[in-house]
Structure 1
Amino acid sequence: MKTWHYALIVFLGGCCYGVLSTFVKLAYSAGYSVTEVTGGQYLFGTLLIWVLVLFTKKKTLTLNQAFKLLLSGIPFGLTGVFYYQSLQTLNASLAIIFLFQFVWIGTLFEWIFYKKRPTKWKVISIALLLIGSVLAAGIVSEGGIVLSWQGMIWALCSALTFATFIFLSSLVGKDTPPVLKSALLSTGGLIVVSLLFPPMFLFDLPVLTGVAPYGLFLGLFGAVLPPLLFSIGMPYIGPGLGTILTASELPVAVSMSSLVLAEYVGFSQWIGVVFILGGIAAGNIRGSKGKITPVQVQKSSTL
């Protein structure tokens, strides 16, 4: 595949995250708690991906390889925990802005660890994305914004862990089949979520059966598809461009809230969506024209 194919795969992974907020709100309105929704998402998602592993070509991993992938799943689980925690004391529109800082954090990681300075187009892209995120989140049109330093810290932690997860997706387990890699990443996320949010709802049958539909949907789009798509695409495009492409999350979230929840989305928010899409396009201008090197072709045959 060409580089832009891998970029599209990562873009779709970001779109999957954008679906989550709408259905999390639906689950909350149905009376389910943060613990039940978060635990259900990672539990059912991990079960789904391991079912897929049963129908894929098997590959033996060393204990060390499996352990590294499990550890890499920790920031995946922590992102959900930190972000949901920030929503307890922070306005949702502000929380998403702080989470969106993962865009420049990922580029910073690439600069520090890969010694790859951001290009002019990448800097322009990040600027467009951050401006667009402020507009799309409705900060301009809303009044009476409540600022909480606890909420800001939690939300910034979620940005850091999300950028770390994207970075590790491009670095760890490059020769591991994407489905198996995704299963181990999801398992690592499930372990850390279960430790922080003990899944006591498993012992309450009415709650378990009630939260199951939400857990299955959130698990598919939050714990199965994103790590799977990132496992396929990230090794070929790197964490810098990868974090820019995953910014597709916010336009999808805005669109879903309008279509499914019938929430009012103002003109400035749609302008923000346009800015974000423009930022994604600007960040991909150079990367989309590249070709896969022979080393990458060899790697892709093992996926």
Structure 2
Amino acid sequence: MKYLISVFIGAASYGILSTIVVLAYGSGYELGEVVGSQLLTGFVLAWGLAIYMKRQDKRKRKNGAEGAFDQARPHAKLTWKSRLLLMAAGMPTAVTGLLYYESLRYIPASLAIILLFQFTWIGVLIQAVSQRKRPGGVMFLTVAVLFGGTLLAAGIMEQGTGRFNWTGVTLGLLSAVSYSMFILFSGKAVPAAHPAARSAWMITGGMLLVFVLFPPAFLLNGLIWGDLLLYGFLLGTFGAFIPPVLFSIGVPHIGEGMAGVLGAAELPVAVLLSSFVLKEHVSLLQWIGVAVVLIGIALPELTRRRKALLPS
């Protein structure tokens, strides 16, 4: 149960981000400042954890016990090739943040999160093309349910498409593509490395990419010492630090399928906060759409577990 709760809390943490970003925009901050301060905070926290665990392992070794990094040999000491690979794998998550947060300038947070969640079927499509393997019937049903739920949750059934800003919609869908790429690459990048070290190097790669695209002038002009520090700390803590740590703890024990189901907790949390904190209107039909999307996400795992329980 503790591993299930760990993954659930990690996913729910992601759902907080869109509300914080909208509030940061309302305070006058720009995209580069918001994402840059987030990744800088995540960078500091992730490396702090990695260094702390490394020191704990050294103490345990002195006492004759096996440390956590020792369990990950031969990747306890990462080569520079492995480090560069991890940094490259972390860059899509930075791109996802840039696209997703920019979409929030044009469309409501409740719609932006629904568009981001299209990564569920986009990931299936990418894998099918890369592996040249046609998805099974369950996946086709899942995609159909997700599409139907998305139409309801986005309010298209009630208001049509005329009210949408298509720049925001496009950015939201591109963030889903980027997030699908992140999931695809991150799982294959040095999987035997210790989770703390993996997270630290991946966040480093994402931060460097953002700083190249948006030079961190906020570090020099004193802007970081205003409200941006609070927004960056919240975004870094709930977006770049807590979820990766909790996922690394829980996912190995509950499996990727169940983790995907619990990961959907991000969606209702984001919609709830956009409704209550940002005062965005979310109709009953849209809430039904959110529920349908959650069912679609859970469908493959529920089908798999049902088959596992049937007598052979």
TM-score by length of 2: 0.78
Report whether the alignment pairs 1:204 with 2:221: yes
Aligned length: 286
Q: What's the counterpart of residue 299 of structure 1?
A: none
Asked if 1:31 corresponds to 2:48, the answer is no
- Residue 108 of structure 1 corresponds to 125
Residue pair 2:18, 2:104 contacting (<8 A) in 1 also: no
Q: Distance in 2 between matches of 1:119 and 1:5?
A: 33
Aligned pairs (5 A) from 1:185-204? 185-204=202-221
What runs of 5+ residues in structure 1 fail to find an aligned partner?
Answer: 292-303
Task: Report the counterpart of residue 72 of structure 2 in structure 1.
Answer: none
- Distance verdict in 2 for CA 1:252–1:131, change over 3 Å: farther
Contact 1:257-1:263 within 8 A present in 2 as well:
yes
Report the secondary structure of 2:53's partner residue: coil
Distance 1:158 1:6 in 2: 28
Offset, 1:7: 7.7
Q: Distance in 1 between matches of 2:29 and 2:131?
A: 43
Q: Which moved more, 1:253-262 or 1:112-121?
A: 112-121
Give the equivalent residue in structure 2 for 1:301.
none
For 1:145, the aligned partner's letter is R
Q: Does residue 82 in structure 1 map to residue 88 in structure 2?
A: no
Alignment partner, residue 41 of structure 1: 38
1:1-40 counterparts in 2 under 5 A? 12-40=9-37
User: Counterpart in 1 of 2:65?
Assistant: none
Q: Which amino acid aligns with 2:84?
A: F
Residues in 1 aligned to 2:188 and 2:253: alpha-carbon distance in whole angstroms: 7
Which residues of structure 2 form unaligned runs of 5+?
55-68, 70-75
Q: 1:38 to 1:142 in 2, by over 3 A?
A: farther
- Structure 1 position 146, deviation (Å): 3.4
CA distance in structure 1 between the aligned counterparts of 2:254 and 2:135, rounded to whole angstroms = 17
8 Å contact kept, 2:149–2:289: yes
Q: Which residue does 1:51 correspond to in 2?
A: 48
Change (3 A) 1:98 1:12: same
1:134 and 2:131 matched: no
Residues 43, 190 of structure 1: 8 Å contact kept: yes
Task: Measure the CA separation in 2 of the matches of 1:7 and 1:104.
Answer: 24
* Alignment map for 1:174-189 (pairs within 5 Å): 174-189=191-206
Q: Separation in 1 of the partners of 2:228 and 2:6?
A: 29
Query: What CA distance in whole angstroms lies between the structure 2 residues aligned with 1:133 and 1:235?
Result: 31
Distance 2:299 2:99 in 1: 30
Offset of 1:80 from its aligned partner?
1.0
- 1:187-238 Cα distance to aligned partner (Å, 9 max, x none): 1111111111211111232543321111111111111133334555389856
Contact 2:90 2:186 in 1 (8 A): no
